[in-house]
Structure 1
Amino acid sequence: MIRWIGERLGREHGDERGMVLANVVIFGTVMLLLVATMVAVSTSGAIKSAADRNFQNAITAAYAGLADYQAKLSNDNGYALYGNAAAQFSKSSGSTFTGNDNNAAFTNSGSTWAPVVGSSDQWYRYEVDNSNYSSKGILRVRVTGKSGGSVRSLVANLKGDGFINYLYFTNYESSNPAISGSSCTTAYQWQSGVSNKCQAVQFAGTDVLNGPIRTNDVFTAACATTFNGAVEQHDTSVRASSGTCNGMFNGGAASAVPYLGLPALNSNMSQETRTDIPATVPRPGCLYTGPTRVSFLGNGKMTVWSPWSKATQVKVDSVSGAVTETNDTAKAAALCGAVGDLQSAAGATISTLPSNLMYVQDIPSAANNVNTWAAGSYPSKYTNTYCTTTVTVRGNGSSSTAGNQTFSNGQGYPASGEWINGGSSGSGSTYQTGSASDTYSCTAGDVFVSGAFSGAMTIASSGTIWVTGDITYVDGTSDILGLVGQNAVEIYNPAKCTSYPTTGSWWAGYVTDYSRCNNAGVGLLNRVRGAGITVSAAIASNAGTFWNQNYDIGPQLGVLKVVGSIAQNWRGPVATTGGTGFSKNYVYDQRLLTTAPPKFLQPVSTSYGVTTQIEVQSAYQVDGSCAKTTAGVCR
């Protein structure tokens, strides 16, 4: 019995050791599983962390690519013409390019990417859509960034920091001495040590500026001048016209900004009428010659009178420089008007140019230019109207020198009864009579424009753009117009004289002196007290000014309302503190922040800002091949 008990205990003891061993094995297995799980979790976490890092770095690389393209644009405004026509984003837009500048970022397939500077694992490439650059000043770019196994793409719209970003822009805040008649020296108001410096033109107390304004100079303002937008200038101190107050700054205090340069000439805009350079001018506009009149009809149409025009689209021989008519004259006539109609008294009624430009040039003097006129010859569609008081124009277009004709520029200027104001005489008791031929040149590329505008176009002039009446938009949400005058954009405001001085004596007789007008006899020809005018357009005068003709005579007028923007070299006067001219109501067209009139004037240099930006589906695979849609087409 005792032996049986012992054997029993011995077997149970052995069984207990077996159970311990089993427990140890189970526990060890569990621990191994736990360790393995922890290692797996740790490893997957590291992989996920790396993937997250690559994912973030890929979009960072895309932003770096966007910044690179912006920098290249800012350094060279012509960089908008560089790209890769084979890139999917570019070719689907209809973009055209002149080259790729050996830029690796324009690669559209394969393993070549541009590296992000300072990084060893980030790359980018970009594709450009410049199809709306000439028409709206907008570039679209799709940028793809790569890091590790991650690829991300974004699309951004870029627009230059141009003059139309501002309701009002000036280079100088003084007037053009040629207009003021002063012998002063043009200089910035902030410049010291300049003798006989031209005085600043001030904002009046009735002036309201509803938008951002900028000058390379400094502004001068009255206490009640209202600034409802940002004020940017050479320094932070707006000068007071009197006392110590200098305006009401509802848009914030003035800030200092860098210089923004106006081009000296707008003649490069005439290149947009050439048909022989399709890479840079894929959609040529219209060229008109000599004084040209434009009447907007409010229905998407306009009537154009341009008697001196012979060819409205041209090509230029690269060797001789000869300017000849385009090969497709029918296409030019359909867009710009038939030459016979342009030269006729009825004019050519055509559609406003679709997202394009009209350039009006001086009558050229070069013998090898199709729009040149032989000496003594004139358009035959009009008679007895042209150029000097010593010219009679016969019906066949030839001329004689019989001095029996009143001057006219062929477009009805000066108007009947108009007296040309030559400025105050030295005595101050009379005004001098000015020169009609200097005011309304017969050969200059001047434009006379008014009416209800519908469409999207720009009018550029090598001379002066005269606003002869209201210019308004039919649809303020879609219509957009640009006016660019080399010498000036001027509000037509003709004068009359009803009292001339006399000279002589009672014994010798009195003679009326038509070279002067008595102060009391000077008035306005077609405006009365309180009359206003509205101009809806982006306005620029790169070498001149925007001003009101005869701003210093006549009664107090109403409001000059500008809906758009104004850029000018000199500050243009529209009124005096003595109670003549218009008060201002300038309203910024907010659409100009993101778009521009077709082929509008560009600054000498500018930076390009992003107006819109969005991430899109990746355009490429990691290996550089295009990413495809479900239909198997490259995105």
Structure 2
Amino acid sequence: MRRILRAHSADRDRGAAMVVVIGISALVLALLATAISIVVSGQRYARQDVSWNGALAAAYAGVEEYQSRIAADWSYVYKGNPQAPFSSTSELTPDASNPALGFDDSWATVPGSNGSAEFRYEVDSSAYDGYGTLRLRSTGRVGQEVRTVVADLRQDGFLKYLYFTDFEVQDPWQSGESASCGTYFWSRPSTGCAAIHFGGGDQVEGRVHSNDVIFTCQATFHDEVSTAWTGRDSSTGMRFKRIPGCTSGERTTFQRPDPQGGGPFYRNRLEMPQTNIDIRADALEWGCVFTGPTRITMQADGFMRVRSPLSRVTRPGAVVSNPSGCGTVGTGTDQLGSTNGARIPVPENGAIYVQNANRAVGDPNYHASKPSYCTNSSNSNGVGYPAVGEVVPSAIGSVAAYGCTNGDIFVEGVVDGQVTLAAENYVYVVGDIKYEDSERDILGLIGNSMVWVHNPAFSCQTSYSPDRCSINSPNRRIDAAIMSLRSFSVQNVTKVGDTDGILTVNGSIVQRYRGVVRQYSGYIKNYQYDDRLLFRSPPHFLSPMNSNYGVSTWVETDAIDVDESW
């Protein structure tokens, strides 16, 4: 009996153990199944996360690929798919060789992705001719994930700087120095070429770039300073030179120095255009072309007074050669040749070009002989210069001041609009130029030669050296982006004046050679950068010849439908 009871007890224990074993096994299997499910799910989400991030990277790759195309060929800004909704406001030429433009729903492959990542883009160039800005909508795709970005592209141009100079010397054409002085410091003769410098307590409130070596003493630069000089000064270890005679106590201060060595940063040379003639072509389409000396008085109501007595055809070669928006040719009341000139609207996002009057035979603005006022005793240029009793400045090179057939602009007034004024010869700023609305209005001034701040001299006494003249420099303000393909300078700085005014420039100054603003007379500088120029430019403003396009702004937007028909 005892043996039977012991066997029964053992069987019962074995049964209970079996239940425990089965329960544990079931739990292990459940945990294993859960773990497998989590791993599989995690892999799925990981793949989705990788695809999600990869699609955005592919969209960025599209932007970079387009940048490389326009860097290699500037005219590529006019290529695109004219059927794409994003491009509907632009006149584009198709390019079926570029799959990223979306022909037949094709996509370009991101290099190195083994075909797993793709992109395509649309181009909006509607603001390019006016403001130099392109807008690109780029879409990336990886697997089933699609993401889209919109980027604004602008050239890394002159207008990011308050002050840009190609050569840090006075124009030999103006100074009379050897032509060999008109090059970079490392190529100039060691003597006989005077570099113009920052000094005298100058406070520079904006970015500065020079393709040359910057000379300075006791100046303060409040923003980035850069130079294309690859060397460093032996005494300072920095990329600038102190002018001879500058003592150790006269220090130049860089508020935003290069962290790799202080002083100016190194930045590639920006190549200036040789001429502003391209703006003439723009003016024929989006503005007016005037001939000979032209006085323009900007008005605060969106109009301007234009006096241009030698203009005969204001859009030569166009279907409408004398549109009403460019004024009526003639000398009658309110016509271009009258004393008060014609009142015409500021061309919206347009350009005005003033060309020389010595046109070839057959040109619609050809004049067989000079006007009578060119040869009379007053030596007038037909628009009021020189003033009565004014001492006419000496010629610069072979070009006389106030020449009666020169393509010169004489400008002042209150700007209400967006426009660029360009002269084949000189631009004279003869009075204040101010914006009526500092957020909306924008002006470009581009001289193929000098851009002068008018500073007339009167009653000259030649018994002194230099000439001492009764000259007064009233305070002057210029709201504009200024470009001179020679120099931006003040007239008559070699003559001793009664007072020195303050010259305020609100905008940007771009020049090939350093111009003199103050010597024996002239102006104390007060230059202020117009921050809007980082993101927009005056219409039809000139860009560097060797600059790449950079992204000024970009934002991710709703992804476009990959099946959307472009």
Output the TM-score relative to the length of structure 1.
0.80
Q: Which residue of 2 aligns with 1:346?
A: 340
Instruction: State the SS of the aligned residue for 1:442.
Output: coil
Could you tell me which residue of structure 1 aligns to residue 477 of structure 2? 534
Give 1:21-170 correspondences, 5 Å limit. 24-91=21-88, 94-100=89-95, 102-107=97-102, 110=105, 112-120=106-114, 121-170=116-165
Specify the SS of the correspondent of 2:500: strand
- In 2, the alpha carbon distance for the partners of 1:31 and 1:298 equals 85
1:420 to 392, 396, 418: 392
- 1:593-632 equivalences under 5 Å are 593-621=534-562, 625-626=563-564
- Measured against aligned partners, the alpha-carbon deviations of 1:118-138 in whole angstroms (never above 9, x if no partner) come to 221111111111111121221
Distance (whole Å) between structure 2 residues aligned to residue 436 and residue 152 of structure 1: 60
Partner of 2:235: none
Q: Find the aligned partners of 1:25 and 1:88 in 2 and give their Cα distance.
A: 66
What displacement does 1:27 show? 4.1
Alignment equivalent of 1:243, drawn from 239, 242, 246: 246
Contact 2:82–2:93 (CA under 8 A) maintained in structure 1 = no
Once residues 575 and 485 of structure 1 are traced to their aligned partners in structure 2, the CA distance between those partners, rounded to angstroms, is 20
Secondary structure, in 3 states, of the residue corresponding to 1:198?
coil
Higher mean C-alpha displacement, 82-91 vs 558-567: 82-91
TM-superposed CA distance for 1:602, in Å, is 1.0
Please state if 1:327 is matched with 2:319: yes
Matched, 1:271 2:209: no
Deviations 1:294-316 (A, max 9, x none): 001222221111122222224xx
How far apart in 1 are the matches of 2:270 and 2:321? 40
1:198 aligned residue (184, 187, 193): 193
Q: TM-score, normalised by structure 2?
A: 0.89
Deviation at 1:55, TM superposition (A): 0.8
CA offset at residue 177 of structure 1? 1.6
Aligned with 2:390: secondary structure? coil
CA deviation string 1:29-75 (max 9, x = no partner): 43333222221211111111111111111111111111112222223
SS in 1 for 2:478: strand
Matches within 5 A, 1:147-546: 147-183=142-178, 185-188=180-183, 190-192=185-187, 194=189, 197-223=192-218, 225-235=219-229, 236-241=238-243, 242-244=245-247, 245=250, 247-252=252-257, 253-275=263-285, 284-314=286-316, 324=317, 326-328=318-320, 332-334=323-325, 336-340=326-330, 341-363=335-357, 365-373=359-367, 375-376=368-369, 378=371, 384-385=372-373, 387-389=374-376, 405-422=377-394, 438-499=400-461, 519=465, 522-524=468-470, 527=472, 531-542=474-485, 544-546=486-488
- Matches of 1:24 and 1:485 in 2, distance apart? 96
Greater Cα offset, 46-55 or 300-309: 300-309
Identity of aligned residues (%): 35
After superposition, the Cα gap between the structure-2 partners of 1:353 and 1:274, relative to the gap in structure 1 and judged at 3 Å, is closer
Structure 1 residue 21 displacement after superposition: 5.2
CA 1:114–1:520 in 2, change beyond 3 Å: closer, same or farther? closer
Gap regions ≥5 residues in structure 1: 276-283, 315-323, 379-383, 390-404, 424-433, 501-516, 628-633
Query: Partners of 2:386 and 2:425 in 1: how far apart?
Result: 16
The amino acid of 1:584's aligned partner reads K
Deviation at 1:104, TM superposition (A): 1.6
8 Å CA contact 2:394–2:401 kept in 1: the answer is: no
Alignment partners' CA distance in 1, 2:198 and 2:348: 37
Q: Which amino acid aligns with 2:281?
A: Q
Q: Secondary structure at the match of 1:353?
A: coil
Unaligned runs of 5+ in 2: 230-237, 258-262
Q: For the Cα contact (< 8 Å) 1:468–1:491, is it kept in 2?
A: yes
Contact 2:139 2:147 in 1 (8 A): yes
| Cα distance, 1:518 vs structure 2 | 5.2
**Cα displacement (A) at 1:587:** 0.8
The CA distance in 2 between the partners of 1:569 and 1:289, in whole Å, is 25
Quickly say closer, same or farther: Cα 1:435–1:227, change in 2 above 3 A: closer
**Structure 1 residues 193 and 155, CA gap change in structure 2 (3 angstroms):** closer
Deviations 1:355-379 (A, max 9, x none): 1111111125233432223x1265x
Q: Which amino acid aligns with 1:338?
A: T
SS at match of 2:495: coil
Contact 2:312 2:364 in 1 (8 A): yes
Q: 1:566-619: CA deviations, max 9, x gaps?
A: 01111101112xx42211111111111111111101111212222211111112
Q: Aligned in 2, Cα 1:587/1:337: closer, same or farther, shift over 3 Å?
A: same
Look at both structures and tell me which one has the larger radius of gyration over its CA atoms.
Answer: 1
User: Secondary structure in 2 aligned to 1:171?
Assistant: strand
- What is the aligned residue count? 544
Aligned position for 1:592: 533
How has the CA–CA distance of structure 1 residues 436 and 416 changed in structure 2, closer, same or farther, with 3 Å as cutoff? Answer: farther
Q: 1:450 to 1:614 in 2, by over 3 A?
A: same
SS of structure 2 residue aligned to 1:438: coil
- How many Å separate the matches in 2 of 1:435 and 1:128? 46
Q: Distance in 1 between matches of 2:523 and 2:389?
A: 23
What is the identity, as a one-letter code, of the residue corresponding to 2:329? V
**Partners of 1:75 and 1:605 within 8 A in 2:** no
Whole-Å separation in 1 of the counterparts to 2:68 and 2:193: 37
In structure 2, the CA distance between the partners of 1:364 and 1:46, relative to structure 1 (3 Å rule), is farther
Is the 8 Å Cα contact of residues 428 and 452 (structure 2) preserved in structure 1?
yes
Contact 1:238–1:246 under 8 Å retained in 2: no
Q: Which amino acid aligns with 2:394?
A: G
State the 1:185 CA deviation: 2.2
Deviation at 1:23, TM superposition (A): 5.1
**Structure 1 residue matching 2:44: 3-state secondary structure:** helix
Tell me the distance in 2 between the aligned counterparts of 1:99 and 1:368: 38
**Contact 2:180–2:188 under 8 Å retained in 1:** no
Give the Cα–Cα distance (whole angstroms) in 2 for the partners of residues 435 and 613 of structure 1: 47
Moved more, 448-457 or 184-193: 184-193
User: In structure 1, what residue type is equivalent to 2:212?
Assistant: D
How big is each residue's C-alpha offset from its partner over 1:429-485, in whole Å with a ceiling of 9 and x where there is no partner? xxxxx9998211222211000011121111111111000011111222221110000
Asked whether 1:551 is paired with 2:493, we answer: yes
- Pair 1:561-2:504 in alignment: yes
| 2:50 aligned counterpart, secondary structure | helix
SS at match of 1:34: helix
Q: Secondary structure at the match of 1:569?
A: strand
Give the letter aligned to residue 166 of structure 1. Y
| Local SS of the residue matching 1:164 | helix
Deviates more, 1:594-603 or 1:284-293: 284-293
Q: Which amino acid aligns with 2:348?
A: P
Change in 2 beyond 3 A, CA 1:98/1:109: closer
Instruction: Indicate the larger mover: 240-249 or 170-179.
Output: 240-249
